[in-house]
Chain A
Amino acid sequence: MKKLLLALFLVAFLGVSVFASTMTVGLSVSTLNNPFFVILRDGAIEQAKVLDIDLVVMDAQNDPAKQMSDIEDLVQKKVDVILLNPTDADALVPAVEDANKAGIPLLTIDRSVNGGDVALHIASDNVKGGEMAGAYTVEQLGEKGIVVELEGITGASAARERGQGFDTYIAEFSGIKLAAKQTADFDRAKGMSVMENILQAQPKIDAVFAQNDEMALGAVQAIKAAKRQDEMFVVGFDAVPDALNAIKAGDMKATIAQQPWMMGVLGVMNGYLVVSGVELGIEFIPVPLKVITE
Chain B
Amino acid sequence: MKNLQYKDIIRRYGILIGLIGLIIAFSILSERFFTISNMLIVMRQTSIVAFLGIGMTFVILGAGIDLSVGSVLAFSGAVAAGVMQSRGIFLGILAGLAVGTALGAFSGLVITKLRIPAFIATLAMMAIARGGTLVYTDGRPVTGLPSSFAFLGRGYIGDIPFPIILMLVTFVLAYIILKLTRFGRYVYATGGNIDAARASGIKVDNIIISNFAISGFLSGLTGIVLSSRLNSAQPTAGMGYELDAIAAVVLGGTNLFGGEGELWGTLIGAFIMGILNNGLNMINVSSFYQQVVKGIVILIAVTVAQSGKK
- A residues sitting closer than 8 Å to B (CB atoms) are 32, 56-59, 61-65, 68-70, 72-74, 76-78, 88, 90-94, 114
A73 partner residues in chain B, CB cutoff 8 A: 41, 278, 281-282
Q: In the complex where A73-B278, A76-B38 touch, is A68 in contact with B288 (Cβ < 8 A)?
A: no
Let me know if B236 and A62 touch, CB within 8 A.
yes
Identify 22 residue pairs between A and B in the complex whose beta-carbon atoms are under 8 Å apart, listed by A's number: A32-B287, A56-B284, A58-B281, A59-B287, A61-B287, A62-B236, A64-B237, A65-B48, A68-B230, A69-B277, A72-B41, A72-B45, A73-B41, A73-B282, A74-B281, A76-B32, A77-B282, A88-B232, A91-B234, A92-B230, A94-B150, A114-B143
Let me know if A59 and B239 touch, CB within 8 A.
no
B231 partner residues in chain A, CB cutoff 8 A: 90-91, 93-94
Residue of A nearest to B46 (CB): A69
Shortest CB-to-CB span from B245 to chain A, Å, is 14
A74 partner residues in chain B, CB cutoff 8 A: 281
Cα–Cα distance between A57 and B150 once the two chains are bound (Å): 28
Most buried by A among B238, B240, B284: B284
Cα–Cα distance between A215 and B238 once the two chains are bound (Å): 32
Q: Which residues of chain B in 14-65 are interfacial with respect to chain A, using CB atoms and an 8 Å cutoff?
A: 30, 32, 35, 37-38, 41, 45, 48
Q: Which residues of chain B in 140-197 are interfacial with respect to chain A, using CB atoms and an 8 Å cutoff?
A: 141, 143, 150, 154
Residue B286 CB within 8 A of the other chain: yes
Residue of B nearest to A88 (CB): B141
Shortest CB-to-CB span from B285 to chain A, Å, is 10
A76 partner residues in chain B, CB cutoff 8 A: 32, 35, 37-38, 41, 278, 282
* Size class of the B contact interface (CB-based, 8 Å): 20 to 34
B237 partner residues in chain A, CB cutoff 8 A: 63-65
**CB < 8 Å: which of A58, A63, A70, A93 contacts B236?**
A63
Cα–Cα distance between A49 and B239 once the two chains are bound (Å): 35
Let me know if B141 and A91 touch, CB within 8 A.
yes
A69 partner residues in chain B, CB cutoff 8 A: 45, 277-278
Residue of A nearest to B154 (CB): A94
**CB < 8 Å: which of A57, A59, A90 contacts B141?**
A90
Shortest CB-to-CB span from A26 to chain B, Å, is 10
Cα–Cα distance between A64 and B288 once the two chains are bound (Å): 17
Let me know if B236 and A59 touch, CB within 8 A.
no
Residue B12 CB within 8 A of the other chain: no
Let me know if A65 and B38 touch, CB within 8 A.
no
Cα–Cα distance between A56 and B154 once the two chains are bound (Å): 25
Residue B209 CB within 8 A of the other chain: no
Let me know if A70 and B281 touch, CB within 8 A.
yes
Residue of B nearest to A55 (CB): B284
A59 partner residues in chain B, CB cutoff 8 A: 287-288
Residue of B nearest to A95 (CB): B230
B251 partner residues in chain A, CB cutoff 8 A: none
B282 partner residues in chain A, CB cutoff 8 A: 73, 76-77
A92 partner residues in chain B, CB cutoff 8 A: 230
Residue B229 CB within 8 A of the other chain: yes
Residue B214 CB within 8 A of the other chain: no
Residue B226 CB within 8 A of the other chain: yes
Q: In the complex where A59-B288, A72-B41 touch, is A94 in contact with B281 (Cβ < 8 A)?
A: no
Let me know if A91 and B236 touch, CB within 8 A.
no
Let me know if A77 and B32 touch, CB within 8 A.
yes
Let me know if A65 and B284 touch, CB within 8 A.
no
Cα–Cα distance between A90 and B231 once the two chains are bound (Å): 7
Q: In the complex where A63-B236, A76-B282 touch, is A91 in contact with B45 (Cβ < 8 A)?
A: no
Residue of B nearest to A63 (CB): B239
Let me know if B232 and A90 touch, CB within 8 A.
yes
Let me know if B230 and A94 touch, CB within 8 A.
yes
A32 partner residues in chain B, CB cutoff 8 A: 287-288
Shortest CB-to-CB span from A121 to chain B, Å, is 19
Most buried by B among A78, A92, A94: A94
Most buried by B among A68, A72, A76, A94: A76
